[in-house]
Structure 1
Amino acid sequence: MSRRPMLSRRPLRVFAVAAALAVSVAACTTTPEGGGSDTSGGGGAAAGGNQKVTLQLQWFVQGQFAGYLAAVDQGFYTDQGLDVEIKEGGVDIVPQTVLAQGQADYAIAWVPKALASREQGAGITDVAQVFQRSGTYQVSFADSGIASPADLRGKKVGNWGFGNEFELFAGMTGAGITPATDVTLVQQQFDMQALLSGEIDAAQAMSYNEYAQVLEATNPDTGQLYQPSDFTVIDWNDVGTAMLQDAIWANTERLSDPAYQETTVKFIAASLKGWAYCRDNLESCRDIVVKAGSTLGASHQLWQINEVNKLIWPAPSGAGLIDQAAWDRTVQVARTAVNADGQTVLTQDPDPEAFSNEYVQQALDLLKADGVDVVGSSYQPTEVTLNPGGA
């Protein structure tokens, strides 16, 4: 099969985001603002008497964060008396550090990365586990013979590094592969060009982002877009090395303050209502994300929100509740999986204050009393048709 690079995609690390929300979506600065270190519950009163709150995202504005954008757009935060500013992430922004340094009131971060920061002294607590499942794949062409971690032996295996690689390394180790010697490890860019050009045999991808990129590319053999049947996917949820990802993190020290506790419950409730809205109003949330400034394209954003919904719904115990078994598995992989540098994510088990279900449970009780479906037992994903380049 002839494999050429996908020319229509731009690297995900370089696009700019325009602010187009009722509140500002701004790049994070290194200057404390909004009173993130204020212990009054948020950043002080905003115009109209609402409590000003800042949320730090872990990446650029995209469908991965649709629920928070929808909560702004639909007035769910305002209904809770909050004026929320969403700060977009980027290459050099570590959201849990921004939070720990008092430059935001809450942050979205993957659990293993945040726990590593906590082990190093960051005072942060997981207060709502929004993504219940991992969205990380390892993607190969179907004719590569790669259908399981064991098949990666002797192959050129791409990964992003930066702490994103531990599910992959745990999966290979569990299959009897020594990553440092049994495969050729390749530092992969945050796109799928290396896979499509044949430079690597297996590429790291998020189900809601990079995997869509290969399906938005033209197959030179057919002149049509690639199809899922052209690829094989290793899903770490199936392998058993999946780690918890996007969660809402709060400042541990400030959680001793009743005002911040109350704000935390309100913020979680409005955020989860935003995710319930995106579950039930997929196209509306696509439009909200596009309006917020993402340049990834409308069909790409529709795919992304649809795939993210699969990571959240259904939520049998209630959206955002932290499942102890999933937490323990994440910690175990973080303690035992060794990357190419011989490092593990964690050197010891996190302390009991690393997560709490107290605030998310109160938020769920508020939502249920308001008639919001926080379980989504009847949720069914939508069949999304991708356009060339995600347009």
Structure 2
Amino acid sequence: MRRYLIAASLLLLLTACGTADTPATPTASGGTTPIKLQLQWFFQAQFAGYIAAVDQGFYKEQGLDVQLLEGGVDIVPQTVLAQGKADYAVAWVPKALASREQGAGITDVGQIFARSGTYQVAWKDSGITTPAQFKGKKVGNWGFGNEFELFAGMTKAGLDAGKDVTLVQQQFDMQALLKKEIDVAQAMSYNEYAQLLEATNPATGKLYTPDDFQIIDWKTNGSAMLQDAVWANTEKLNDPAYQQQTVKFLAATVKGWAYCRDNPEACRDLVVAKGSKLGKSHQLWQMNEVNKLVWPAATGGVGMIDEAAWKQTVDISLTAKNQTGDTVLTKEPTGLAYTNDYIKQALDQVKAAGTDITGTSFQPQTVTLTAGGA
């Protein structure tokens, strides 16, 4: 069995995936420990919990001075972490597992997103409602490891991605679908799908509505995979100081996400102030949709890795085939791929201090989008 050919930068992994030469907990002036967190993408509400934890002083309460490193197309967070250029990273689980198989010493210590937010979207009048109906169609996807659920859905439907569909490299927007250059497009529930609803229908002069589109949600057909998680350096987890630091980091992170659950407008404003190029209504939509992926939390509280969801992600990574017949993984993950030890300690701490760690009463908002997401 072969593996996916993913982004070249992902394949150029370090010759040594261990710790940096510096101590696990260097102390900055003022008695706080400087921490670098590598994000997966540009500043947006997908990372609002971390932004809030910085702004609200939750990290400082734990003695941490956290610097958020913005991501981008050419940045692979798990590689940055494995190379010792960050202390923690936010990355999708299948991408990170592919990096682990190639030698990256990283461990999932906090599964923040309990659910997947990936869609494929078609026009309602196309008649496309299932992955099986992608046959003979132009199928957009971003690549860079974002397409694994798409291949999983097509594999499950009995399609050969190399023969039965025309794969189209999609930009990180929805213009190709809007211009009808492709039949189905990849979209995140919290970002690109909103871009469709922020676009003007030239036939009516009004914004498109959900009734204009058909969503294929991978959560409904068993092809969903775990996404945003906090990853730590595996070798450094042998250091008691890094272990304690990890608990502190996760405790503050949990408080940040709980704050954004309870204060979505305030977190929207924090993200906009951070420099996001997306507008206020778009960011409020994103904050609301991201909250749906986090809350209600998995059994035990936000950040706990659910064994069934983990197994489904691994099973799909071993069996779903891309256009060349390759799979994400060639074997089961070995070593310390994930642990709940540190998030359990963090949850006990913040729960004792009065933070709701499960969000069982969470109710999403109804968000009204404006043209262009302004």
Partner of 2:110: 128
**What is the count of residue pairs matched by the alignment?**
355
Partner of 2:88: 106
Deviation at 1:274, TM superposition (A): 0.3
Q: 1:44-193 counterparts in 2 under 5 A? A: 44-193=26-175
Amino acid at match of 1:274: G
Deviates more, 1:58-67 or 1:334-343: 334-343
Partner of 2:353: 370
Q: Is 1:321 paired with 2:296? A: no
Q: 1:281-360 counterparts in 2 under 5 A? A: 281-315=263-297, 316-360=299-343
Distance 1:238 1:247 in 2: 21
- 4+ residue segments displaced more than 2 Å: 36-42
Partner of 1:379: 362
Distance 1:329 1:85 in 2: 33
Distance 1:39 1:344 in 2: 37
Amino acid at match of 2:336: E
Amino acid at match of 1:326: A
Deviation at 1:317, TM superposition (A): 2.3
Distance 1:356 1:337 in 2: 25
Distance 2:326 2:195 in 1: 31
Per-residue deviation, residues 276-305 of structure 1 (Å, max 9, x unmatched)? 000000000000000111011111111111
Partner of 1:361: 344
Partner of 1:25: none
Note if contact 2:163-2:323 (Cα within 8 Å) is conserved in structure 1: no
Amino acid at match of 1:50: T
Partner of 2:16: none
**What secondary structure does 1:182 align onto?**
coil
Amino acid at match of 1:287: D
Note if contact 1:39-1:259 (Cα within 8 Å) is conserved in structure 2: no
Distance 2:290 2:210 in 1: 18
Partner of 1:224: 206
Sequence identity percentage? 70
Q: Is 1:200 paired with 2:182? A: yes
**What secondary structure does 1:288 align onto?**
helix
Distance 2:23 2:359 in 1: 34
**What secondary structure does 1:317 align onto?**
coil
Deviates more, 1:98-107 or 1:174-183: 174-183
Distance 1:224 1:292 in 2: 31
Query: Normalising to structure 2: TM-score of the pair?
Result: 0.93
Please, which runs of 5 or more residues in structure 1 have no aligned partner? Answer: 1-35
Partner of 1:19: none
Amino acid at match of 2:180: G
**What secondary structure does 1:163 align onto?**
coil
Amino acid at match of 1:37: A
Q: 1:1-80 counterparts in 2 under 5 A? A: 37=20, 40-42=23-25, 44-80=26-62
Query: Normalising to structure 1: TM-score of the pair?
Result: 0.89
Partner of 1:260: 242
Distance 2:66 2:218 in 1: 34
Distance 2:76 2:150 in 1: 22
Deviation at 1:321, TM superposition (A): 0.2
Deviation at 1:39, TM superposition (A): 5.8
Deviation at 1:40, TM superposition (A): 3.6
Deviation at 1:244, TM superposition (A): 0.4
Per-residue deviation, residues 154-206 of structure 1 (Å, max 9, x unmatched)? 21111111111111111112112222111121111111000000001100001
Per-residue deviation, residues 58-91 of structure 1 (Å, max 9, x unmatched)? 1111111000000000000011111101110112
Distance 1:204 1:57 in 2: 21
Please, which runs of 5 or more residues in structure 2 have no aligned partner? Answer: 1-18
Deviation at 1:326, TM superposition (A): 0.4
Partner of 2:215: 233
Amino acid at match of 1:384: V
Note if contact 1:39-1:257 (Cα within 8 Å) is conserved in structure 2: no
